[in-house]
Amino acid sequence: MASRVLNTSMLRAATQRHFIKAAGTIMPPFIHSFIHHSFINPSFSLSCLVQPALRANVTRAFSACTKLQQQALGHDQLTEPSANPSFKSGNDALHDYGHYLMTVLPKYVQQVSVYKDELTVYVPPSGLEPVMHFLRDHTNSQFKSLQDVTGVDFPSRTNRFEVVYQLLSFQYNARIRVKTYASETSPVPSVVPLFNAANWQEREVYDMFGVFFTGHPDLRRILTDYGFEGHPLRKDFPLTGYVEVRYDEIKKRVVSEPVELAQAFRNFEGALSPWEQTGAGRDDTPDAVAAKIQQQDEQQQEKK
């Protein structure tokens, strides 16, 4: 303890010597106040020094004082880890609730996972309805609001589609995520009888991924056009699609035709793009360019 007091006294004396030497023209009361504040708070701003000539000297003195202060505090204290090994994140309640769900619904809940403040429950399609009913009506759940229903495509899996339900409890201010799975032929039970908000959301998943929902009151496409082929958000769906829609001047109506690419490489230099349905565009195919060059050569020879 005595050594600690001695080091502190030596540090204060060295600090005073450095600042008095660097800023000798400053008034003594101001020096005393500046030393006092800089010793208490090392991040004390140097902007109060209005004379530019003194600012560089005081900055060097301040750096030297900081080094003396570090030596007085000790090297071990500066390198001591600030993280507490016994610290636990605030998601212990989520782990406990996930364990509670697996205990109460062991027949339906296959797995639970917690990432930061997000709890995810994995259930089979056969257990989706009882689990969603429990989460909606049980006293310890009260997840009355269905926020969203989305789909994810994993082509390498046997059940390639993952249907994700996002639930919200207003009473407990909590969220939970429920995941189930499906293949191209196996359906998923609809939760529209439990949550009316799932009506259009399940239609969107059906339209984009092709997942069938049994018991849905009106399962039809909602985003794509009439007669659309395929499901756009599948990983094996081509970016150009299978068909294109355009207005036929002869038939005087909108027609659907297979996608026809005008050229493999699009060249937008000069005129309009042949990909656009206005104007003929410029023909930059190799044959057309070669014919054009040959025609120019013939014209030059005729002039000669």
Q: What is the pLDDT of residues 53-83, one digit of tens each?
A: 555 665 666 666 666 666 655 554 555 656 6
Please identify, among 165, 193, 214, the residue that sits at the C-terminal boundary of a domain.
214
Please identify, among 43, 76, 109, the residue that sits at the C-terminal boundary of a domain.
76
pLDDT confidence of residue 243? 83
Please identify, among 171, 194, 214, the residue that sits at the C-terminal boundary of a domain.
214
Q: What is the pTM of this model?
A: 0.58
Q: What is the pLDDT of residues 236-258, one digit of tens each?
A: 888 888 888 888 899 899 888 88
Would you say residue 50 lies in a domain? Answer: yes
Residues 181, 205: contact at Cβ < 8 Å?
no
Residues counted in the chain: 304
Rounded-to-integer distance, Cα 29 and Cα 17, Å? 15
Q: Could you tell me the CATH number of the domain that includes residue 206?
A: 3.30.460.80
Mean model confidence pLDDT for the chain: 77
Same-domain check for residues 61 and 112? no
Same-domain check for residues 15 and 104? no
- Residue 50 banded pLDDT, cuts 50, 70, 90: very low
Same-domain check for residues 123 and 148? yes
Q: What is the pLDDT of residues 221-231, one digit of tens each?
A: 999 887 788 89
Task: Give the full edge-to-edge strand order of the sheet including 174-182.
Answer: 111-115, 118-122, 174-182, 161-169, 145-153
Rounded-to-integer distance, Cα 178 and Cα 148, Å? 11
Residue 189 has pLDDT above 60, yes or no: yes
Residue ranges making up the domain that contains 189? 92-214
Strand-pair partners of 213:
188
